[in-house]
Amino acid sequence: MKRLLLCALSLAVVVGCSGAPPEQSIAQEGFKVLQHDATTLEATYGSGGAVVRMLAVETQANVVEVTYDFGDPVIGFHIDFNQGVGQFMPSGSPLDAAHSHLLASLMEGLARELPEEGRTRVEDAAERQTSFMQIVPVGEVLTAYEYVSERGWTHISCSCGRQYIGSGYYRTAGMGCGCTGGSGNGCKGRCGQGCGVTSLPRCVGTTAYTQDCAKHDYGLGSFAAASDDYSFARNNCSCSGVGSCS
């Protein structure tokens, strides 16, 4: 059933499940938007003959299917915002560094394409899931799983400081470029890549700070455990100002 769903979604983006993208995609370079309306967002990014094609479709009110098709692998999400349930459905080979590069560039293109405010459900899901794809492990065989928002996600404080991040752990987390906890990038606990408006996704619409995202940032929790945070967590922090790191 999982394979049939992924094939159906891939067919919708004229790729299929043959393991090889079409020649038109191979020849494509850069970011392209193929369709963008109230219920569908389809975009590609190609580089050096490799391509990722993303299709996000709101199939019914507040239910969105999102697919990332590299030819091999194909990774799909079924996100039911009504029930607060998501499904992660990978098929094919593990992700590698080249796939990660494509995803990062796709995210940059989407950030330019999408409005900062007043987003449709499909626009919001496309950005959230693309951001989530950037933390999916590289080089690991991926397995399908279901995640439920009620299991749940817990916000942490927006103010940077040592705080409880769940599972018995206390770490420095919260907003700010300098909020690194001594282990790399700032904004520890943010459910998104980088730090605020100076990074992607942009600050507006992606300011959820949670325990599971903080644990993932510190290598104390899995990407799977942060799935519901990325898909469903409400924004609990705000931007400190355009052009700043929040």
Q: What is the pLDDT of residue 202?
A: 59
Q: Both ends of the chain: CA-CA distance in Å?
A: 43
Give me 35's structure tokens. Answer: 């369709």
pLDDT at 116: 76
Helix (H) or strand (E) segment spanning residue 31: strand 30-36
Block means of pLDDT (10 residues each) for the chain, length 246 residues? 46 41 57 97 95 98 98 97 96 96 92 86 94 94 93 89 96 90 86 67 68 94 94 82 46
Tell me the pTM: 0.84
Alpha carbon distance 232, 228 (integer Å):
6
